Every structure is written in C-alpha cells, then in structure tokens.
Amino acid sequence: MSLRKANMRIAIVAPTYPLRGGIAQFTSLMSAQLSKRGYEVKSFSFQKQYPNFIFPGKTQIDKSVEKLTVKSSEPVFIPYNPLSWGKTFIRIKNYHPAIVIFQWWVPLTGPGYGFIDGLLKHFCAIPSLFIVHNVIPHEKWPGGNFWTRFAFRKGQKFFLLSANSKDELYRFYPQARNLKVTVSPHPLYDCYKGEKITPQKAKQRLNIEESKVLLFFGNIKPYKGLKTLLDAFSRVTKKLKDVRLIIAGEVYGSAKEYFHLIKELNIGDKVTFPNKYIPNEEVGFYFQAADAIVLPYLSATQSGVVQIAFHFEKPVITTDVGSLSEVILNERTGLLVKPGDPKELERTILKFYQKKTLAKTLTQGIREVKTRYSWDNFINKLDEAIRE
C-alpha cells in the first residue's frame, strides 16, 4: 500500500513525556521527527506505565525543569486496566490513522496491545508496526512469552534497533520471517541541550576534585552489573589514587545492598552516589565531567545510555553482551569486556588511563561514526517501513 505523507496520520501507542524513562523520551523525540517529515502524528499515551505496587522507583513522572515538547499526546492507555483498552481503541478509531505504531519493551503491555491491535484489524483494517526495544525483557514477567506472542500476532511490520534483536525476534517469533522486518540502530539522545562547559567546570558543579572520573548512568537494576563495577573500582583505587566513580541514577528496588558493598569495599570516599533520577537539566554536567562511561551490563539488547554518551562524545567501557558490540567498536569507539568479570573490568579501566593516546583515539572514533545514529537516518528507515 502506497501512502502519501501529506494526508497520512500516524497513531502511536506508547508512553510519552512527562512520564519517566527512555521509552517515553524515545517516543517523544520520534514523534517530533515524524512531524517534521510532514506526517500528522498523535500519541495515545499511557496514564500510568506500572501499578504503584510493582513500580520500584519513587515516581513515574519526570519532574525535570528542562522539559521535552510533545505536540499531540493524549494520556488514555493503562496497560493493566482493560477499561482503558477499549477507550484507547475508540480514540484511535476516531482519529482515522493510516497506521498504528506500538512501542514494545515489556510484556506488561501485551494484553492491552494485543486487544487494541486485534480490534483495529477487525473493524478498521488499520495496519500496525511494532518498534521492538526488547524482544525478551531483562526481567522475568509471569506469562511473559505468551503475552509477547499475543501482542505480536496481528503485527504486520516490525522495526528492530539491532541485528542481534532481529535474530532474536526470528528465534522467538518465527512468523516474523514472513513479515516486513526493518533494522535501524538506536538514534542519539540529543535532547540534552543544556550548557556546554569544560570538564573542569562540570566537576565544579558536581563538587568533584579528582582529575579522573568514571560515570555509571541510568536506573539501577540487577542486570546492569553495578556490583561488578564496584568490585572492579575498589581494585582500581589501589593503583590510581586520583580517581572517582559517579553512580548517577535511582536504584529500582532496595539500595541497601549497594551502599553496604561500598562500605565493605572501603571506597565510600571515592564514590558519588546520590541515588536519584537525574533531571534533564543536570544530565550534561555528569557526562561532561566524566572521562568515560562504564556500563558493566550482565545482559542487554541495546543501550540508550550509549547514545547519550555518543551525543556528548564520551568513550564507553561496556560488556560484550546483546547488540552492544554493534555500536561499541572495540578500541575505536569504546572498550569491550566480558560480563561479570571485575578483574578484566579493572584491567580495562587501568588500560584506558595508562595508555596515553587511547582516550583521544576513542573520542575521535565516536566523532567519525556518530552520524550513523542520527534521527534523520532513523526516520528515513522508519519512513520506508511505514509507506512500503
């Protein structure tokens, strides 16, 4: 079906700003980029992403002073409230879109997505496209595989953010081999404008005196491997005295085990750990203060944090899991290590600092490849998938 942009409406079912999290930011930025291309876009957003009793953070609302702009968004969908599913279907039906885009990242949305997509196919013959961030979630969900397949069963197009995710989709949902499947890498999170300052001034803003600074950024969950990093960093401090680790993020769950480990490793005077969600206006200070971003993930698909790091042209030290090696080119844009190995992570951090030209080499490598991850390139691919 050939579709003309000039009269084409796109409905998006996904969380949008001011809800917190990478998916909400991604959707808000993508919606703005599609609008620039001439599409009429409306997001049928979430009223809430998770029930309060299972949400591990302090709040689901982003209270940043520096806000993202969302042109057209209606908060109507609640993944765990069936009454909202029917309401969302009716609102989308009355909007008369040419296609519906679902953002997929967690099986909690499966029942509602599957219900809405099924009704749209049956009553309106509206095609759907799933942008898949995680085929399999990082944490286990009751009935997760069933609800993922339930959501996917009516999908006609799938849009993946890595080749590894495409392979995973084919293994998990073989029916996708007969459908339109597109791959385009996660674009840069370039929404953090803020003030461009020197590393020295950024350190002053964060009250950091050390000359060497490593940054762990993002919401803290077990699969992100922070315990491995703390172990490795305790070893690093025995060989590098003028070094600090910043842990910039909120623990999803109990923070006690991390603070206990910091105390046990005797590194409390070398670690900055505010245990809070970092508002948009402060993100730039953390990245500009850091020499490198360290992401010791035990498992992953892709990482939005890597794309923030690339936006600020900061090298990334991370694990060779999921599709991270598709973006982090070892010794060109970052350094790769085995997951769950604090000794290798220690050696790699020391190598980063002791090999004099390495940091400059990695930064230059990022500058050379970051255009691959532009929103223009991403929207070109999405535009093609939508209209084909």
pLDDT tens string 274-299: 999 999 999 999 999 999 999 999 98
The confidence score (pLDDT) of residue 58 equals 73
Give the count of domains, the chain: 2
Distance CA 258, CA 263 (A): 9
What pLDDT score does 68 carry?
82
Q: Final residue of a domain: which of 183, 211, 230?
A: 183
Residue 378 lies in a domain: no
User: What's the token pair of residue 375?
Assistant: 């929103």
Is residue 233 domain-shared with residue 344, that is, in the same domain? yes
Same domain, 269 and 360: yes
Residues 276 and 348 in one domain: yes
Residue 6: per-residue pLDDT? 47
Residue 190 lies in a domain: no
What is the rounded CA–CA span in Å between residue 307 and residue 374? 10
pLDDT tens across 101-140, in order? 999 999 999 999 999 999 999 999 999 999 999 998 888 8
- CATH number (domain holding residue 170): 3.40.50.2000
Mean confidence (pLDDT) of the chain? 93
In a domain, 194, yes or no: no
Give the C-alpha distances (Å, rounded to integers) separating 10 from 157, 193, 228.
14, 27, 43
Residues 176 and 203 in one domain: no
Is 248 contained in some domain? yes
pTM equals: 0.91
What whole-number distance in Å separates Cα of residue 117 and Cα of residue 180? 17
Give me the pLDDT at residue 7, please: 60
Q: Which two tokens stand for residue 368?
A: 């050379």
Q: Are the C-beta atoms of 317 and 330 separated by less than 8 Å?
A: no
Give residue 231's domain range: 199-372
pLDDT tens for each residue of 159-206: 999 999 999 999 999 999 999 999 999 999 988 876 788 999 999 999
Is the pLDDT confidence value at 350 over 90? yes
Q: Output 41 or 51, whichever has higher pLDDT.
A: 41
Higher pLDDT, 272 or 141: 272
